[in-house]
Chain A
C-alpha cells in the first residue's frame, strides 16, 4: 500500500481535545465531524485540507481521550495517513480499527515541512520526502494490524468473519 500526499505539520503531544473538542461529541456523522477536525489547534485545517493529504507530527500524537471521533474526523477530512515518531496508545488503536494508517517514523518531525510531498509505503515501512529525496525507515505493522488497515477497518474484517461462520 503506497500513499502519496501533501504535508500538514504539527508539534508534539497533540491531544484529542484539540483534534476534536468534546463539545462536539454529540455529533457522530463523519462528514459533520470533519468540519471540526483540529479545530482547537488549527482552525484553517478543516477548510483547507484536501483528500490524500498527510499529517506529520511530533511525538505522542493523540494523547488524552479514547474518543474515536478524533481519528474518524481526521479520516473523514480525507487525510490518507498520519506519520509521527510515536502515537498515544488509544489513538493508535482507534486509527487502526477504522483503517486510518498511522505510521511510526523516527525523525519525520525533523525531515518534513508543511507542504512537502511524502510517499508512504505501509508494507515496506518507508517514508520518502519527494522534496528532499530523503528516505526514512518506518516501523512495519504486524500482519494482524496491516490486515485490518487493508480491509478498511475492524468492522469490515468482522463482517467477513461473521458471514463466513
Chain B
C-alpha cells in the first residue's frame, strides 16, 4: 500500500509492516517529555503502580519551564518533587535553572529528538518536533506515567491531511503567518485527530524555525501530529546535534489523504488571529490601528533566534510606545547567549523591552507579564483563548514577531512596513 509519513512511523514502532488509519495500537516510544506542570502529577500516577523503577531513564526528559524560575512556593515544591524523582530514578535529562529553556525549543536544540522517532510529551505543543520528520504528540500525565513504566502508549493511527505548499514567502512573512493562514482555513475542528503532512516546492523556502513554528501550532487545529519531509535543511540542522543513527520517512506517491489544502506562500501577508480562537485570522493590514497595552515576543512558537533577529531589525534605534510594555523571552539559554553575542539583547533593551529568562511564563498567564481586565496584548504565542494570558476579560491577538515588534513601537497593531 501507499503510505503517509505518520502511517510509516507508527508501523515501525508497533512491530508491524503496515498499519491502517483508525486502528488502535500500542506503540513503542523513543522518548517521553514532561514539564513542571505535568511531571508532578505523572509522578503521583506512577506511584500507583506496583513497580519502583522507570523503564529507561535515558529516554525520559524533564524540563522545568512553565512556572520556573519558581514563581511561588507551590512551583518551587513541584520543581523539587521533579528533581528528587529525577535523582532517584537516574534521569540525566533533567533541565532547570540556567540549563532549562522552553521544552519545545530545547529538545530539538539539544538533539534529543530525531527523524523517524516517536515522542510523546506531557504538553500539547509536543507536536513541534514534526518539523524534524519525527512523530511527536501531546498527551496527558497519565500517559506519561504509563510510558515511564512500560515504554509504550496507546495511539489511534490518524488519517492524514495534505498541506501542499507552493512558492516563496514575501518580505515580513514567517512560519507563524503560514500556520495562522492555514488555521484560518482549516479551523479548530476539521483536522481533529489528523496528521497534517506538509509537502510541495514551498517546503524548501521554509527555514527549520519556520517549520518548527508551523508544526507547533498544528495543535491549534487539534491535529495529532504535523509532519515535514526530511530534506537538506533538516540534515544540516541535525549536524552537531544528533549523533545517533536515525531513519527518515517520506510519503509514498499515492498515499491516501482525507483532503488536500494548497497554500501559495508568495501570496501571504503578515497575519493576526483575533480573540478568542487561533483560527479567527485576518491579514494584519486589516486590523492595523487596534490599540494594545502589551506586546510579547517569545513562547515555543516564536522565541527562536530568527524571531529575536526580526524584532531587533524593527526596533533598532527606536523606542517602544510609552503606552506599551514589551516582554521578550528567548526560548533557550543558548538562544539568549547568541542574541547577546549578536547585540540583539542590547538593541531590544535600548528600545525599552524587558528581556526575560527562558520560560513559558506569560504565554500561559503563569508569570512575567499577565494582563489585567480590559487589557489587550499582541503576542507571538500560540493561543488566544479567553483568559489565556491573565484576566478573563483581557484579549490576546496572535501574530508573528515582525508584527508584534512593529505593534510595540506603534502602540497599536501595525504592519511591519509601517515602521521599517
Q: Tell me the A residues contacting B by CB distance below 8 Å.
A: 13, 15, 17-18, 21-23, 25-28, 40-41, 59-60, 63-69, 71-72, 86, 88-90, 93-94, 97-98, 142, 144-145, 153-155, 158-159, 162-163
Contact = CB atoms under 8 A, between A and B. Distances in A.
Given A60-B222, A66-B139, A94-B143, 5 more contacts: A28-B44, A68-B140, A88-B222, A90-B124, A98-B140
Q: Is the interface of B mostly helix, strand, loop or mixed?
A: loop
B45 A155 contact: yes
B142 A25 contact: no
B388 A26 contact: no
A144 B48 CA distance: 21
B176 interface: no
Interface in B379-412: 383, 385-388, 392
B364 interface: yes
Nearest to B37: A25
A159 B143 contact: no
A154 B392 contact: no
A26 B386 contact: no
B286 to A, nearest CB: 23
A37 to B, nearest CB: 14
B138 A68 contact: no
B51 to A, nearest CB: 6
A25 B143 contact: no
B40 A67 contact: no
A63 B2 CA distance: 31
Most buried by A among B126, B223, B392: B392
Given A25-B37, A25-B67, A68-B142, A89 B222 contact: yes
A93 B158 CA distance: 13
Contacts of B51: 162
A22 B149 CA distance: 27
A72 B140 CA distance: 10
Contacts, number: 135
Nearest to A160: B50
Contacts of A41: 386
A97 B38 CA distance: 15
Contacts of A163: 50
Most buried by B among A15, A64, A66, A71: A66
B146 interface: yes
B209 to A, nearest CB: 23
B72 A26 contact: yes
Contact of B142 (A13, A145, A154): A154
A98 B139 CA distance: 12
Nearest to B367: A23
A21 B387 contact: yes
Contacts of B38: 67-68
B146 A90 contact: no
A162 B49 CA distance: 8
B32 to A, nearest CB: 13
Given A25-B364, A59-B189, A65 B149 contact: no
B223 to A, nearest CB: 8
B130 interface: no
Contacts of B139: 66, 90, 93-94
Given A158-B149, A159-B48, A67 B192 contact: no
A142 B24 contact: yes
A64 B385 contact: yes
B74 A27 contact: yes
A8 to B, nearest CB: 18
Contacts of B134: none
Contacts of A25: 37, 66-67, 364, 366
A93 B143 contact: yes
Contact of A66 (B45, B140, B154, B366): B140
Nearest to A72: B41
B196 to A, nearest CB: 12
Given A60-B188, A142-B24, A28 B41 contact: yes
Contacts of B366: 22-23, 25
Given A26-B75, A142-B24, A65 B365 contact: no
Given A26-B74, A66-B139, A86 B192 contact: yes
B222 A18 contact: no
Contacts of A17: 383, 385-388
Contacts of B188: 13, 60, 63
> Nearest 5 pairs between A and B by C-beta?
A68-B140, A66-B138, A94-B140, A22-B364, A66-B124
Contacts of A69: 37, 41
23 contacts: A17-B386, A26-B67, A26-B75, A28-B41, A59-B189, A63-B188, A65-B138, A66-B219, A67-B38, A67-B140, A68-B141, A68-B142, A89-B193, A89-B223, A90-B138, A90-B140, A94-B139, A97-B140, A98-B142, A155-B49, A155-B142, A158-B150, A162-B49
